[in-house]
Amino acid sequence: MDAETPPAEPEAEPEEKKPVAVSESTRRSQRAQLGSIIAVVLSVIALGLNLYQTRLLQVQARASVWPHLAIGFSYHTLEEKPGFTVTVDNNGVGPAIVKSVRVTFDGQPLRTWPELFGKLLEHGTVSSAIVGIAGEVIPASTNRETRIQAIFVGEPDYARKLFEARDRLKIDICYCSVYDDCWVAHWLTRDVDSVGSCASAGDAEFLN
């Protein structure tokens, strides 16, 4: 007879994992770490807000003293005082510190207004009124008249010749604000170009 097969032993049930007890000191440590992380995040946010507010205040301060020069002319033939005038206006809200001036006629640099008369007129001399620009501080025209008449020619024939030759003339004025933000204003153009600084034109610098 075959030997009797012993009955199979029942499989042992897996032991249940018992939860690991977390000590009170570990909980306090975890809470402290979480609090530190939150504090760091809040500090970074506060720093970012302070930097943004500082930058915003700087922009507002610069905008409050922003100068804007415009170079144009006036030409009158029928009024009491006829003539041709080159004008410089500061239409901004802060003073414009003129650093350099460059004037050309037919692409050739001029140093003084009489040089223009010599190129344009027969005898090269004209009775005129001239006001300096280079190195001037031009205040804003807010609530007052601060226009500079760089040159005025009242003789009708010569005034007409200057008016007719206005497109052959070119004037560039580099100026800065009190915060050393700088721009270049151009003849007969309302737009100005922002520049890092005003470089001297050297031998081509206009001296008035």
Confidence at residue 14, expressed as pLDDT on a 0 to 100 scale:
56
Q: CB of 185 within 8 A of CB of 71? A: yes
C-alpha distances out from residue 57 to 52, 60, 68, Å: 9, 5, 21
Q: Encode pLDDT of 6-43 as tens digits.
A: 565 555 555 555 555 557 777 777 777 888 888 888 88
Q: Encode pLDDT of 56-109 as tens digits.
A: 666 666 667 899 999 999 998 876 678 999 999 999 999 999 999 999 999 999
Evaluated on CA atoms 59, 65, 71, 75, the torsion sign reads positive
Return mean pLDDT, the chain. Answer: 83
Distance in angstroms (rounded) separating the CA atoms of residues 148 and 163: 18
> Per the structure block, which two tokens stand in for 114?
């009489």
Task: Provide φ and ψ at 178, rounded to 5°.
Answer: -70, -15
CB atoms closer than 10 angstroms to residue 90: 24
**What's this model's pTM, rounded to 2 decimal places?**
0.72
